[in-house]
Structure 1
């Protein structure tokens, strides 16, 4: 048992709300039911891309990506240039607050921190390269440091707000930092989220190739998992 793991009464930190998007599941309850019913959520289809490459599986997982731009006060030009991961993040964060029994408007000016685990966007560079016309707000739609700030701004929060990028451990470290922030009194509440979307086959190809290096070099295997 770790010393200090059992706080005194009234000092507990609890998870009060939750939300998420998962393959073929619009929320955590659908995801739970799909798992319990042993439904196959990774399917063979061409919703995202049609590619014939030996390193890209024919099977993939998909989620719905819908956004009520007006609800979040987004200009239509910005809504059209917004990372898909951020779209999902904005909606699921709002849902998790409501799942906790809190009206998002009640958090205005509160010491609520926003801690987001996010490593990379596979469409950021492509979007920058292809965007030549004016009046397209690509920087504010794809730069990952703005993922947390946009949530804080939209909800009018006064707590810490930042992105955690430690690759595969990003979400775990995000939870750890949020816990420490609450314990220290830096914030009263914390919004903790992790997001990752692979919407370009290039990422799949790269990770497939890394697999062979892992098997060949045990030192790289240890470093990669760390």
Structure 2
């Protein structure tokens, strides 16, 4: 795609129609070896190494592990045990964080039913 066309397309995407309102609300983060952003900040300030040296099925030297990884409630998400067991850990994390973002915005997931044109943007 040509640069000028990319810029035009990006400009169109970043502007809402004049009769519509765009709200960016709710934000959530997940950090290795920290339950909250405050814990993460303390770890950084105290120069704590948050990379865990652990042998995994992947050929890596160290990984950033999340605390409390076993607290996923598959029933809450309407998942069968077999679905839960076949889901990669990152999938579980994404589900949890999407719901937490909705709650952080002051909403309940049921508030978004019925075509509210709501999106959740994720980044890694």
TM-score in terms of structure 2 length: 0.67
Query: Which structure 1 residue ranges, 5 or more long, are not aligned?
Result: 113-188, 196-226
Paired position in structure 2 for 1:22: 31
Deviation at 1:71, TM superposition (A): 0.4
Paired position in structure 2 for 1:82: 87
More strand by share: 1
Paired position in structure 2 for 1:39: 48
SS at match of 1:110: coil
Deviation at 1:33, TM superposition (A): 4.0
**Residue among 98, 102, 114 paired with 1:109:** 114
Deviation at 1:111, TM superposition (A): 2.8
More helix by share: 1
Deviation at 1:82, TM superposition (A): 0.8
How many residue pairs get aligned? The number is: 110
TM-score in terms of structure 1 length: 0.40
Q: Distance in 1 between matches of 2:38 and 2:26?
A: 13
Inter-CA distance 18–28: structure 2 relative to 1 (3 Å threshold): farther
The CA RMSD measured in Å over matched residues stands at 3.2
Q: Distance in 2 between matches of 1:93 and 1:69?
A: 14
SS at match of 2:119: strand
Q: Distance in 1 between matches of 2:87 and 2:65?
A: 18
Q: Distance in 2 between matches of 1:49 and 1:100?
A: 36
